[in-house]
Amino acid sequence: MKVIIAEKPSVARELAKVFGANTKKAGYIEGKGFTFTWAFGHLLQLAPPQDYGFYGWRAQNLPMLPAKFKLAVRKIKTKDGVVEDPAVRKQLDVIKALFEECTEIIVATDAGREGELIFRYIYYYLKCKKPFRRLWISSQTDQAIKDGFRNLKPGTDYDTLFYSAHCRSESDWLVGMNATQALSISAGNRAVLSLGRVQTPTLAMICSRFNEVKNFVPETYFQVAIQLKKDESLFRAISAKNYKTKEEAEEVLEAVLDLARGYEKGARVEKVEAKAKKEPPPLLHDLSSLQQEANKKKGYTADQTLGILQQLYEGKLVTYPRTGSRYIGDDIFASVPDLIAKFKDHPLFGKQAQVLSSQKLNKRSVNAKKVTDHHAILPTGEPAGHLSSDRQAVYDMVVGRMLEAFHEECLKETTKITLVSGALFTANGTVIKQAGWRAVFNDKDEDKKDEDNATLPAVLKDETLVISNKAILERQTKPKPLYTEATLLKALETCGKDIEDEELRYAMKDSGLGTPATRASIIETLIKRDYIKREKKSLIPTDMGLAVYDVVKTKKIAQAELTGAWEKRLEEIKAGASVADFKAEIAEYTKSITQELLKAGTALAPITVKAKA
DNA sequence: GCAAGGTC
């Protein structure tokens, strides 16, 4: 018997279906000489400090550098404290029995670094010696699965991938556990002051933006607005220049030849620029873009959206949600017309689904090369039935985005009218000629200011127009906005892009900080630590968060570059570079950051006393 | 009591 192990039940079911195996047992499916079993993500984790004899949180223990890491069954928190997760233990027992029985293991965890680690941790924890081969597929259509099984790779081909995954895991433990204890201890051991490769740069981003806003000095400036009349329509134009003082603006205002001053047609059209613009449809959603949209439209937190999506996924209404890809492959695309047809009677989207059924689909979201372990989020087409309002809202975002993504471009015409009346004035307008994908939600373009979205009347060069009104506008420069969950998620995704060092920037280009599956929990961790809080839609630091930021802001652990540097080395390890060298560097860094924090954290003692009181 | 990573 051969046993196939997947990362999660849904994938195991999919594989079993392709093989025609359908005898369901507790924790596995069998048939046709194969057994399909699964993990639930990471079943095992690196054992906590006490498993190496580091009891309590004491400076003498630091730095904790286990000679050899141990694995422990994943824990959950219950009212009786932290215990082994019984479901995980049970599944491990199932896997153990199957591994003992089998002649060969086929590794079908997700095709990536963590997928490899999930399997290897199980394999080594169970002290299994059975031979294994690797299934490496990036799409789960029947054809891709069949091809993948015909083309299984030797398990050892992925040894270096495992080494890089293992290094990632141990390095995060070493730096995170030691830095956390060092800071907490030196601040008086009254509160958990956690630090980590991902959470600390995230905190730093929130704090630095907050400080920027707090220290921002707004500057007042002035504009002159005129109201013009062409036949029966009115529109507004704004001075081409901004003025620093009210006096300057008043001079310009005075010079305007308006009706009140007796000028029948005091404005002359200097220039009319009309441009046709094609606006392509948005890409399909990945988890992050959906979390951002749900936060903007409905105010859901990233964590809530992930939870809702997980429920929809378990209800088989949407495809795998924790994806970082906004694309699908050609195989999935082939099934899209049928999928769209299933929404022809949908109360909200039925009409657009029908429209789409009769036109050529836009292929902007179709690119097999940009599909990583999972493709973009799509509805499955299963009948949804009655859903709670939040599930319905998120489901509609998935369905609506699918219709948008395969829709035609939106055709717009933008117009810029330049006028002279004393000074120069401009009016910007946009007219949607053909809604295309924008017909799905009929939303306005939220990135644009209202005044740029005005509908302007047709005017000709050198035509003269009535100025029916004029005014001075007092404006203020604005700071960048505080982070919301939506903008923070975006920033986490893209934060590697402005790193100066070219190699580090390259190493982070596909990753950013954290992963789609973990970003929501990073935000929740910072809130749980009392480092940040939600205020309306914004995320703002607490006094504690700001104090921690002050201590670590110049250190490597607070920089996104640290992840870039690690990614670069991990990529090299994957390509065969020395593991020992990287481990030695991490041990060195662990020692130095621990020493620094053991001294630096004393500055935080007063604030932890206050927090405790 | 602690990281980041995965997922029911």
Residue at the smallest CA–C1' distance to nucleotide B4: A172
**CB A2 within 7 Å, strand B:** no
Give A582-606 pLDDT, tens digit per residue: 999 999 999 999 999 999 988 898 8
For residues A276 and A295, membership in a common domain is answered with no
Residue at the smallest CA–C1' distance to nucleotide B6: A41
Separation between the CA of A162 and the C1’ of B4 (whole angstroms): 16
Can you tell me the mean pLDDT for A9-34? Answer: 94
ω into residue A201 within 30 of 0, thus cis?
no
The owner of tokens 């005044």 is A451
**CB A42 within 7 Å, strand B:** yes
Domain assignment present for residue A160? The answer is no
Domain range enclosing A37: 2-151
Separation between the CA of A98 and the C1’ of B8 (whole angstroms): 21
Can you tell me the mean pLDDT for A492-515? Answer: 84
Residue at the smallest CA–C1' distance to nucleotide B1: A192
Assess contact for A539 and A482: CB atoms under 8 A.
Answer: yes
Domain assignment present for residue A157? The answer is no
Gap between the Cα atoms of A569 and A72, Å rounded: 27
**CB A181 within 7 Å, strand B:** yes
Q: Is the pLDDT of residue A305 over 80?
A: yes
**CB A522 within 7 Å, strand B:** yes
Is A320 marked active-site? yes
Q: Is the pLDDT of residue A139 over 80?
A: no
Separation between the CA of A136 and the C1’ of B5 (whole angstroms): 20
Give A97-136 pLDDT, tens digit per residue: 999 999 999 999 999 999 999 999 999 999 999 999 999 9
For residues A434 and A502, membership in a common domain is answered with no
Give A257-296 pLDDT, tens digit per residue: 999 989 999 999 999 999 999 999 999 999 999 999 999 9
Structure tokens at A97: 């029995």
- What was the pLDDT predicted at A447? 54
ω into residue A63 within 30 of 0, thus cis?
yes
Whole-number mean pLDDT of chain A?
Answer: 93
For residues A379 and A525, membership in a common domain is answered with no
Separation between the CA of A121 and the C1’ of B6 (whole angstroms): 12
**CB A13 within 7 Å, strand B:** no
Q: Is the pLDDT of residue A318 over 70?
A: yes
DSSP 8-state symbol, A344: T
**CB A82 within 7 Å, strand B:** yes
- What total of structural domains would you count in chain A? 4
Q: Is the pLDDT of residue A449 over 60?
A: no
Domain assignment present for residue A557? The answer is yes
Question: Nearest nt to A74, CA vs C1'?
Answer: B6
**CB A372 within 7 Å, strand B:** no
Gap between the Cα atoms of A277 and A207, Å rounded: 39
Separation between the CA of A447 and the C1’ of B7 (whole angstroms): 35
CATH no. for residue A13? 3.40.50.140
For residues A595 and A516, membership in a common domain is answered with yes
Give A32-68 pLDDT, tens digit per residue: 999 999 999 999 999 999 999 999 999 999 999 999 9
Instruction: List all nucleotides in chain B with at least one atom under 7 A from a protein Cβ.
Output: 1-8
Q: Is the pLDDT of residue A155 over 60?
A: yes
Separation between the CA of A28 and the C1’ of B3 (whole angstroms): 32
Q: Which of A381, A405, A429 is the last residue of a domain?
A: A405
No. of helices (H) and no. of strands (E), chain A: 19, 19
- What was the pLDDT predicted at A598? 95
Domain assignment present for residue A270? The answer is yes
Assess contact for A368 and A322: CB atoms under 8 A.
Answer: no
**CB A74 within 7 Å, strand B:** yes
Q: Which of A358, A385, A405 is the last residue of a domain?
A: A405
Q: Which of A380, A405, A430 is the last residue of a domain?
A: A405
Give A516-546 pLDDT, tens digit per residue: 999 999 999 999 999 999 999 999 999 999 9
Give me the DSSP letters along A195-210.
Answer: --TTHHHHHHHHHHHH
